[in-house]
Amino acid sequence: MIELTEQQLQELSVPEPVAIDPETREVYVLVRREAYERLKALLALDDFDPEEGAAYVNEVMAEDDANDPHLESYQHYGKQA
């Protein structure tokens, strides 16, 4: 296991936290272990139901939105008053 850098910790506050390998430029998405384990379990099922997976993704996104202090500004971006 590795510890997150200060920059990665800051990245966790944005809606889609990512990390980039400086050598390969490969992009990685940072997700909480709980979210990773739930998605991993869903994908490993022989009878995987994409709707169940989509529902979970929506749940995780809703949790992230609820914790996003800048969400309202994103929602109003580009809209005229």
In the chain, where are the structural domains located? 1-30, 32-81
Full-model pTM: 0.43
Nearest alpha carbon to residue 17 among 5, 38, 53: 5
pLDDT 10s digits, 3-44: 888 888 888 888 788 888 899 999 988 888 888 888 888 777
What is the residue type of 47?
D
Residue 80 has pLDDT above 90, yes or no: no
How far is the first Cα of the chain from the last one, in angstroms, to the nearest whole number? 48
CA distance 44 to 28: 20
Residue located via tokens 């990665």: 8
Amino acid present at 53: G
